[in-house]
Chain A
Amino acid sequence: MIAALLRRDLATFFPFAGGGAALPVVFFVAVAMLYPFAVGPDANTLSRTGGGVVWIAALLAAILPLEKLVARDIALGMFDQLRLRGLTEEAIMAVRLLAHWLSFGPPLLLAALPAAALLALDRSTLELLLLGLLAGTPGLAAIGLMIAALTASLRAGAALSGLLLIPLALPILIFGAGALARQDAASIGFVAAISLLLIAIAPFAAGAAIRAAREV
Chain B
Amino acid sequence: MFLPNAQAYARPRLPSSDPVTAPRLHAHELACQRGDRLLFRALSFALEGGDILHVTGANGTGKTTLMRALAGLTTPFAGTVACEGARGLLDERTALDPDLPLGRALAFWRRLDAGGDGGEVRARLALDALLDVPVRYLSTGQRKRAGIAVLLARGVPIWLLDEPLSGLDHAAIALVQEIIAGHARGGGIAVIASHQPLGLDSVVTLALEDHRPQVDAV
Contacts and interface: CB of A to CB of B under 8 A. Distances in A.
A38 interface: no
Interface in A97-122: none
Contacts of A171: none
Interface in A7-32: 7-8, 12, 18-19
Contacts of A216: 35
B95 A5 contact: no
Interface of B: 35, 68, 71-75, 86-89, 91, 93-99, 108-109, 111-114, 154
Interface stretch (A48-56, A76-84, A137-145, A149-157): A76-84
A182 interface: no
Contacts of B109: 81
B112 A77 contact: no
A4 B108 contact: yes
Given A1-B112, A76-B94, A84-B86, 20 more contacts: A4-B108, A4-B112, A7-B111, A8-B108, A12-B97, A18-B99, A19-B99, A76-B93, A77-B94, A80-B91, A81-B95, A81-B109, A82-B112, A83-B72, A84-B73, A84-B89, A85-B112, A85-B154, A214-B73, A216-B35
Contacts of B154: 85
Contacts of A85: 112-113, 154
A75 B97 CA distance: 11
Contacts of B97: 8, 12, 76
Which 10 pairs across A and B sit closest by C-beta, in order of nearness? A77-B93, A81-B95, A4-B111, A77-B95, A4-B112, A78-B95, A8-B108, A76-B95, A214-B74, A80-B73
Q: Is the interface of B mostly helix, strand, loop or mixed?
A: loop
B71 A77 contact: no
B75 A84 contact: no
A178 B95 CA distance: 44
A76 B98 contact: yes
Contacts, number: 54
Contact of A83 (B73, B94, B108, B114): B73
Contacts of A42: none
Say which size band chain A's interface belongs to.
20 to 34
A78 B135 CA distance: 14
Q: Is the interface of A mostly helix, strand, loop or mixed?
A: helix
A5 B112 contact: yes
Contacts of A12: 97
Nearest to B108: A8
B162 to A, nearest CB: 11
A83 B91 CA distance: 14
28 contacts: A1-B114, A4-B108, A4-B111, A5-B112, A7-B111, A8-B97, A8-B108, A12-B97, A18-B99, A19-B99, A75-B93, A76-B95, A76-B96, A76-B97, A80-B68, A80-B71, A80-B89, A80-B91, A80-B95, A81-B89, A81-B95, A81-B109, A84-B71, A84-B73, A84-B89, A85-B112, A214-B74, A216-B35
